[in-house]
Amino acid sequence: MAERTESNQPAAAEPQPARGRPRDAGRDRALLEATVAVLQESGYGRLTTAAVAKRAGVSTATLYRRWRSKEDLVVGTAVRWASDLGPQPDTGSLEGDLATLLRDKAETLEGPGGRLLHVLIGEAAHNEALARVLDTAIIQPVRDRAAAVVRRAVARGDIPPLQDAHVLADLVVGSMVSRLFLTPDAAHPGPADGPSSGEAAIRELLPFLLRAVGAQPG
């Protein structure tokens, strides 16, 4: 198979310049977006690399130069969308930090990352590799950000120390997934001049989460 042949080729020595044209970031992005679209339409079981390549407007050889298999492609897509979450800014207050974290998570769940997560949640129950990437690439970054929010709040004296700061991340992820994926009314956008489902969820959840970690809304 083409991908096996490519993966078995010896890597070039470090001092030597790379041969061929550099990777096209636009094609990478097109392949990632096509993967999410095909996953949403067909599910993991019926996804094929040929369908993804066709949707992205590239050859399968182009896809295989980036990912060796369907599983590598899906895992790589999950990692890329998770990395789009970015670093947690320090707003100077627990309420501001937590609102930013909730907003970033809402934007992720309402965009391509959310569609990808929908598929991974179902597939991860019987696919160990995807279960690992669901944890390490999607859940763990939120847990790390939530822990940083808690550490800053404790250092400022906003809240008492927590025995397990990662519990806040579980509350953030669990509550946002429940509101945006599992609650029928929240899963559909409201009026054009009203708040999005994510913004509405943030307004409801932020006061509760502040109290849960020992603070009071401002």
Evaluate whether residue 94 is within a structural domain: yes
Evaluate whether residue 61 is within a structural domain: yes
Residue 170's domain spans which residues?
Answer: 87-212
Q: Read off the tokens for 58.
A: 């590239």
pTM over 0.75: no
How far is Cα 216 from Cα 206, in angstroms, rounded to an integer? 10
Evaluate whether residue 98 is within a structural domain: yes
Buried b (16+ CB within 10 A) or exposed e, 53-87: bebbebebebbbbebbeeebbbbbbbebbbeebee
> How many domains are there within the chain?
2
101 and 43 both lie in a single domain? no
Evaluate whether residue 75 is within a structural domain: no
Structure confidence by residue, pLDDT tens digits, 16-64 = 433 444 567 788 889 989 998 998 888 888 999 999 999 999 999 999 9
107 and 195 both lie in a single domain? yes
In this predicted structure, what is the pLDDT of residue 6? 37
